[in-house]
Amino acid sequence: MIFDLIKERRSIFPPQYTDKPIAKETLEKILEAANWAPTHKKTEPWRFKVLTGEKKQELGVFLSNKYEEVDPNPKQTKIKKLHYNPTKSGAVIAICMQREPAESLPEWEEIAAVAMAVQNMWLCCTELGIGSYWSSPGLIKYMDEFFDLNEGEKCLGFFYMGYFEGDVIPSARTPIADKVTWLD
Ligand SMILES: Cc1cc2nc3c(=O)[nH]c(=O)nc-3n(C[C@H](O)[C@H](O)[C@H](O)COP(=O)(O)O)c2cc1C
């Protein structure tokens, strides 16, 4: 049931990922789910770059090198993690947003539509037993140096994915009642 799936969805990180590859057909199914996100004025602003094989390693090298280059006080643990995360994943999907040239909508609406597409992927991953999470390091502002981004296209993060082992660490939420105002 969708309600259970929503509650079951978790951020699952690369240290738990196994070597089991994610089939292309599975990735296509997950992306198809993304494509059905709601979208104001049907701009469909989500753009995805699917990194598998060697390209994941290349991303790891790029991110760790870039971090060392731009951070005045780079930490070894973070350099390693930036390299490790893409390398350990079965696939990495770069989450991008394509601004419509006419800019007929405020940017936040386009970002919101992309986020809804990501949630669709995340829920699909939950159902398929694939661990995943959205990573949004500050380094995403340099992604035009790694990808061939179009005019008006922006990288909003990475969706790391992998079949996983071990327990899923429970998450919690504060009560919804604290965030809702009923008006009648
Ligand atoms: C837009 C967005 C960006 C996120 N960026 C990061 C991130 O950079 N690093 C990280 O560890 N988790 C990131 N997360 C995942 C959250 O940390 C995670 O969703 C939160 O801790 C709740 O855990 P859950 O997903 O298991 O419910 C991000 C989530 C969202 C929605």
Tens of pLDDT, residues 78-108:
999 999 999 999 999 999 999 999 999 999 9
Question: How far apart are alpha carbons 63 and 59 in whole angstroms?
Answer: 6
Q: pLDDT of 21-38, one tens digit each?
A: 999 999 999 999 999 999
Residue 13 · residue 162 · CB < 8 Å: no
Is beta strand 153-163 parallel, antiparallel or unpaired with respect to 130-135? antiparallel
- Mean pLDDT, range 155-167, rounded to an integer: 98
Which residue ranges are tagged as binding site for FMN? 9-11, 40, 134-136
The secondary element (H helix, E strand) that includes residue 33 is: helix 24-34
Atom 23 of ligand 1, residue of closest alpha carbon: 11
Question: How far apart are alpha carbons 2 and 58 in whole angstroms?
Answer: 37
User: Helices (DSSP H) in 71-106: which residue ranges?
Assistant: 76-88
Closest CA to 100 of 167, 63, 153: 153
Q: Give the chain's mean pLDDT.
A: 98
**Which pLDDT belongs to residue 11?**
98
**Which pLDDT belongs to residue 59?**
98
Distance of CA 36 to the CA centre of its chain: 16
Q: How close is the Cα of 184 to the center of ligand 1, in Å? A: 34
Pocket of ligand 1 (CB under 6 A): 10-11, 133-137, 157, 171
Question: 133-148 burial string, b = 16+ CB within 10 Å, else e?
Answer: bbbebebbebbeebbe
The residue to mutate among 133, 135, 161, having the most atoms of ligand 1 within 8 angstroms of its beta carbon, is 133
* Domains of the chain: residue spans and CATH: 2-167 (3.40.109.10)
Atom 26 of ligand 1, residue of closest alpha carbon: 10
